[in-house]
A and B are shown apart, each in its own frame.
Chain A
């Protein structure tokens, strides 16, 4: 019977974090927007730019950790398949437990980042980048998809 109680105790400990916790979520909130670019002139969007920076909101079990990884495009794609180079520096991403753009911990979006959910099980991720149109860049609209992956560590 002692073995039974021990096993039940172990199994109960393992399952408890599933109960009553926020589910893991990643929501794309705001696009990363460069606006109008002039051929040959790079354009930088800061992760602290409230209007142009990209933003994701994440949710999960409060006070637990998660690993963030990005899937980043190296180019934006435009008319007739034309490409516009896009680069990310070592501090172009930022995490805010308080979901405040003015209170971020910067990190390299090309590397995994270990985050901790707030006491309310929330957080926000902000992203900047640099677009580098060539002097002969074809005119038109360019787009790309940025994906944020969140893996939980209960």
Chain B
């Protein structure tokens, strides 16, 4: 009987050990979380659109290809990324409440800083598409025509051209 009790106790202990081992059982597995962040877009007004001296009653046009006076924006972002762009364009340059009408906007898009090898555009508020270069660059050139009325007061006339670019 004594031997039987010891055997029973041993069996019980083994059973409890086995139970304890089961209770301690745990496993794990892993996955990866991934994300790719694009380069932020920057737009820099690189060169002003400059008409210089104009005369009342005489229209003056600056071509987008005018290396000295044409307007230029430099855009940077994620290489080869598709973007949309749009312009906010003035209808007048102003000086002390006087208006100098501006219009007939012209433009050019290129992934290189050149007015050759790209695409002509018509700047407008309507969003349009473009693609950044592999290095993430885009150059936007603008030109326009001012039409000074014959009674335009003398002065320095200015306006703001805004280019908005987004992914």
The contact sample of 15 A-B pairs, CB cut-off 8 A, is A1-B4, A6-B8, A15-B18, A18-B18, A24-B27, A28-B32, A30-B31, A31-B33, A31-B34, A36-B38, A56-B29, A56-B31, A76-B35, A133-B35, A148-B30
Flag whether B26 is at the interface (Cβ < 8 A).
yes
Q: How far is the CB of B80 from chain A (nearest CB, A)?
A: 12
Complex Cα distance, B1 from A13, in Å, reads: 23
- Complex-state Cα separation, A154 to B38, whole angstroms: 48
Q: Which one of A94-102, A114-122, A139-147 contacts B? A: A139-147
* A38 contact set on B, CB distance < 8 A: 37-38, 40, 167
Q: How many residues from B make CB contacts under 8 Å with A?
A: 33
Q: List B residues at the A interface (Cβ < 8 Å).
A: 1, 4-5, 7-9, 11-12, 14-16, 18-19, 22-23, 25-40, 78, 167
13 additional A-B residue pairs with CB within 8 Å, beyond A18-B22, A34-B36, A139-B38:
A10-B12, A11-B18, A17-B22, A31-B32, A36-B36, A36-B38, A56-B31, A76-B35, A84-B37, A139-B78, A141-B37, A146-B32, A146-B33
Cross-chain contact A11 with B40 (CB below 8 angstroms): no
Q: How far, in whole Å, are A120 and B2 apart by their CA atoms in the complex?
A: 45
A39 CB-CB contact with B under 8 Å: yes
The residues of A that contact B19 with a CB separation of less than 8 Å are: 14-15, 154
B37–A37 contact, CB under 8 A?
yes
Q: Shortest 10 CB-CB distances between A and B: which pairs?
A: A11-B15, A7-B8, A26-B29, A34-B35, A28-B31, A139-B39, A14-B15, A151-B26, A32-B33, A4-B8
Instruction: State whether the Cβ of A55 lies closer than 8 Å to any Cβ in chain B.
Output: yes
Number of A interface residues at 8 Å Cβ cutoff, please give it. Answer: 65
Alpha-carbon separation in the docked complex, A24 to B11 (Å):
26
Checking A34, A55, A138 against B33 with a beta-carbon cut-off of 8 angstroms, the contacting residue is A34
**Interface flag for A3 (CB, 8 Å):** yes
A104 proximal to B (CB < 8 A): no
Q: What residue in chain A is nearest B16 (Cβ atoms)? A: A14
CB distance from A93 to the nearest CB of B (A): 12
Tell me if A103 counts as interface (CB < 8 A to partner B). no
Q: Given the complex, which residues of B lie within 8 Å of A152, measured CB to CB?
A: 22-23, 25-26
